Structure 1
Amino acid sequence: MGLKLTAREKEILEILRKEPLISQDELARRLGIARSSAAVHVSNLMKKGVILGRGYVFNERVSSVVLGQSGVEIAVETGMRENWETVTRITTGIGGFAYKVATNLARFGLGVKILTALGIDEEGDRLIERLMKEEVDTSSLYRSSQHGTGKRVRVISQDGLVEYSDDVGLDVFEGLLDIWSHLLTGCEWLLVEHNFLEMVLRKLAQRESSQWPYICTLQLVGKEGSLADVFSDCHLLVLGVSGGEVEGWIEKGLGLVDKGLGSFVVTDGTSKVFVVNRKGSTEVTLAPNQGFEVTRGLEAFLAGIVYGLAQGYQYRQAVRIGSRVASLTEGGNV
């Protein structure tokens, strides 16, 4: 980003920092220039590496670490109606919390290190190749000769989501935390798969809380259930509600905020997003074209919110960045 910016480019940059989702038509109107001229200026900013496109993402690198499972993911969608017939769609790709979150963060231009465990097999080789292509730091991931790369089957139907997994065990990750401990506190943002939170917090408890990073996680829920107290030690919890009412989870989120949770974002992915923190509950309405399927896009949604917060945006803007990215993703099955 060493190229000099023109006065007009600096003017545009200031507008984009305040309103990263502004349309080029509105940008042109503000500047009193033609839309084609605005498009040229934006294109030049992208060429100079100042912004990365898609929501005018700024190239300001922030230290982040993502910890969780990665592996092969098979998605089975049943009960869908196409051309008056009920069909089943099966897709296979790379998935897992760590892979999906890390690659989405990297696409924003953030510096991302992934902490995950893979087997010494073809699936692991392919996954590492994809991570490196996305410029995710893979130097600290673990490859085991005792375990194969994880596999997960996700069955999505009108009744909700059911998962079957053959992942690297939590005991393997717990042993790895001794090796990774310095990385947990050496970052600004730590995004952790919710199953790993307890062991991570036990490790962090050995350090002063002032040395802790911003801990972020997500969970997919249905109509009923409860939220574990362990979430109260997080900076951000993103909750995706599949097949249930969003409003029913707000009170549960407020309970965690009272216990120490920084902020709680809950959504059904279609239209409603609520941000819950000590200031209360705020509804953010999604644009019609920015809805997403929570069973597939929740990791991208989390990554977008974290990017927004890391860049200093308020939650309303951060949520809209997250929803936009989630609406454009297939959840990591690439």
Structure 2
Amino acid sequence: MTERELEILALLKQDPLIAQQDLADKLGISRSAVAGHIMNLTNKGVIRGKGYILAENRYAVVIGGANMDILGRPAANLRVGDSNPGSVSCSPGGVGRNIAENLARLGSDTRLVTAVGKDAYGQQIIEHCQRAGIDMKNTLQLNDALTSTYLSVLDGDSDMHVAINDMAILERLSVDVLKSQQAMLKRAELIIVDANLSEAALAYLLSNYAEIPLFVDTVSCAKATKLKPYLNAIHTLKPNLKEAEQLSGMVIENYSELPGLANWFHNQGVERIFLSLGADGVFYSEPNEQALIPAIPVAMVNANGAGDAFLAGLAHGFIQDWPTRKSTEFAMAAAVVALSDLATINPNMSEISVNRVIKESLC
């Protein structure tokens, strides 16, 4: 779907009886343009019948953090301990939220469960997510807490030099809150969880929803350790090599040892593991298949968000019933799209743009 179609779809989900003129007014376009988009959505099978009855899609639920990302980028090499000329930008971020936006932009029906404050950043995040096509009805908006912020500074090579996060509000995404959304969670095609959640929330989700494919983002070495007691509930795990070593207690000297590392996770109950190897690509493993896929060369603009786009690509492939290798190649191309824009989420993220990267990489 196009970005405008995603915006219209998000508004229709909020109000299925909304008039076309009201849609036009909200989007700042003509009524005839809205009618054209509605016709396209109908032809694609997204809208069925009068009253904008939406087709019942297989949907993913993402549970995790939503931040306002504040990004500092030096104009030249970073001088530590000094003031650096450069640029500062703000955009909605957070591991869970980033995965959800990428997944929605790829065309999958996506619902986000997170917590934001009733402040300027929180409202900006809600509105941005809705425009991207994310269903935000299950997100908490709190009067007595501030929306998370994530401050990062890049180095001269556009890689992250340092970051500070303020994510205290995510503790409010409690077990009781998650229990109140049980009916919606039980109907999900898959549930994506990021390890920023509290230990109690992770324990509840990984102990009570193992019958639904659970995709887990480890986030960092420190946060990955919270997952160790629940590895047998995880369908798809996406760590980098350091995080995998932290969880397993193994140290990998060379890539020939990756199959053994992956098998350790399988023995703990993880069905699929995708080991991020940075510039060397991705090693994926499931019980009957293992492979190392080289990275696609890319002129990196911003390293933030590539891993989130990768996991979204995996989830999108799973919803489409693609084989694991095809999903992995698609996810790697989605990461390339993410790396190619200064924003945390590339506004051009779509299934079309990802397939274009795949096609160009084969030339």
Give the alignment's TM-score, normalised by structure 2: 0.64
Displacement of 1:198 in angstroms is 4.6
Structure 1 stretches lacking a partner, 5+ long: 2-44, 52-58
1:5-61: CA deviations, max 9, x gaps? xxxxxxxxxxxxxxxxxxxxxxxxxxxxxxxxxxxxxxxx9995389xxxxxxx994
Equivalent residue in structure 2 for 1:331, among 334, 341, 344: 344
List aligned pairs for 1:41-190, cutoff 5 A: 48-49=43-44, 61-76=57-72, 81=77, 90-157=88-155, 162-174=162-174, 175-190=176-191
List aligned pairs for 1:132-281, cutoff 5 A: 132-157=130-155, 162-174=162-174, 175-196=176-197, 198-200=199-201, 202-204=203-205, 207=208, 209=210, 212-220=211-219, 228-229=227-228, 230-240=230-240, 247=255, 251-279=260-288, 281=290
Q: Which has the higher strand share?
A: 1
SS of equivalent to 1:91: strand
Change (3 A) 1:269 1:77: farther
Paired amino acid for 1:214: P
Displacement of 1:102 in angstroms is 1.0
How much is the aligned-residue C-alpha RMSD, in angstroms? 3.8
Paired amino acid for 1:128: I
List aligned pairs for 1:24-43, cutoff 5 A: none
Does the CA-based 8 Å contact 2:148-2:169 persist in structure 1?
no
Paired amino acid for 1:63: Y
The total of aligned residue pairs comes to: 277
SS of equivalent to 2:146: coil
Aligned equivalents of 1:252, 1:293: Cα separation in 2: 30
Aligned equivalents of 1:288, 1:296: Cα separation in 2: 17
1:265-302: CA deviations, max 9, x gaps? 01234242100222353112333349897643110110
1:110-161: CA deviations, max 9, x gaps? 1111101110111111111111111111111111111011111134458966
Q: Where has structure 1 moved over 6 Å in runs of 4 or more? A: 242-246, 290-293
Displacement of 1:108 in angstroms is 1.9
What is the aligned-residue identity percentage? Answer: 19
**Aligned equivalent of 1:37:** none
SS of equivalent to 1:66: strand
SS of equivalent to 1:65: strand
Give the alignment's TM-score, normalised by structure 1: 0.69
Does the CA-based 8 Å contact 1:241-1:294 persist in structure 2?
no
Aligned equivalents of 1:141, 1:226: Cα separation in 2: 26
Aligned equivalents of 1:292, 1:260: Cα separation in 2: 37
Change (3 A) 1:106 1:246: farther
Displacement of 1:169 in angstroms is 3.7
